[in-house]
Structure 1
Amino acid sequence: MDLTTTPLTTATLDPALAVAELERRLALGTDPSDVHAAVESGASGLVVVDSRSEQAWAQGHVPGALHLPTALIAPRATDLVPTGTVVVTYCWGPGCNGATRAALAFARLGFAVREMWGGIEYWTREGFGVEVDGVVTAGVPDPLTAPLGRGAACGC
């Protein structure tokens, strides 16, 4: 189907195809809010991996994340990440495919993997803590990306 010539309101889309694709996307991705909740709950068997450069890592990263740039995943991951661990990768943000490439590298090694949508950009925009030089600080959530107020939830 060519949606460039078919108005969206008249496009025919097989619901079964949509279900399959959306289920696939949800199985392979997650958002910063869900990652934060899992980390805060102390979920076992989960490793959050920052796939950015050393310079980017030093600018701030998800507290407790493992720093493993994409180019180092193949040679080092099996020494650093226990077998059976669920790996969540992230990079800069939605305009960067680094987390996707990192997730692919982990999947090729046999790890269960998910990509954190929005990367460190949306992690910080949601007001979650960022670690720099061992100090964790959190900003105010961006009202366009996260509800304001302690304990507020988006309801999605």
Structure 2
Amino acid sequence: MDQIAFYQAKLAFEIDSWDVAEQLRTGQPLLLIDGRSSTAFAAETIPGALNLPHRTISVDTTASLPKDRLLVAFCDGIGCNGSTRTALKLAQLGFAVKELQGGLDWWKRDGYATTARDGEALNCGCEG
């Protein structure tokens, strides 16, 4: 693989927080998938995300997910490979999926809001 092909592939399979926020803001169809444990999800996640722990992904647990929209997998951040595991399993099941670069950590560093299970905003939600 040459450099150009490498970077084209990287952009085809990864997305950053700004691009996710812009797609959500403009109404482009995507679905955030939090691949962490239900405990981590309950403590803090990205608003609108669904919790699908990567260890539980199967044909049965993904039966209700839409096949006609982009799924964006994420976990805690660069020290966690849960988003990679989530993205791989979803891709193996035929879903269009990208991995959120930097996960929840970079989402927050970029100033976007997070939420707890009860819907309480945890961060400012400033757009960067």
Provide the TM-score with structure 2 as the length reference.
Answer: 0.90
Match of 1:87 in 2: 71
- The one-letter amino acid paired with 1:39 is L
For 1:151 and 1:95, how far apart are their aligned partners in 2?
24
Alignment of 1:127-138 (within 5 A): 127-132=111-116, 133-138=118-123
CA 1:31–1:151: 2 relative to 1, 3 Å: closer
Match of 2:4 in 1: 19
| Pairwise CA RMSD | 1.7
For 1:42 and 1:36, how far apart are their aligned partners in 2?
10
For 2:82 and 2:124, how far apart are their aligned partners in 1?
24
1:91 positional shift = 0.3
Runs of 4+ off more than 6 Å: none
User: Is 2:91 the partner of 1:107?
Assistant: yes
Q: Is the 8 A contact 2:47 2:115 kept in 1?
A: yes
- Corresponding residue SS for 2:87: helix
Query: How many residues end up aligned between the 2 structures?
Result: 126
For 1:129 and 1:151, how far apart are their aligned partners in 2?
9
- Corresponding residue SS for 2:2: helix
Unaligned 5+ segments in structure 2 are none
1:115 positional shift = 0.2
Q: Is the 8 A contact 1:124 1:139 kept in 2?
A: no
Alignment of 1:1-156 (within 5 A): 17-44=2-29, 46-74=30-58, 75-79=60-64, 81-132=65-116, 133-139=118-124
The structure number with the bigger radius of gyration is: 1
* CA deviation vs aligned residue, 1:61-98 (integer Å, no higher than 9, x gap): 0000111111222131122x112221100001011111
For 2:57 and 2:127, how far apart are their aligned partners in 1?
36
1:137 positional shift = 3.5
- Corresponding residue SS for 2:80: coil
- Corresponding residue SS for 2:11: helix
* CA deviation vs aligned residue, 1:93-117 (integer Å, no higher than 9, x gap): 0111110110001001101110001
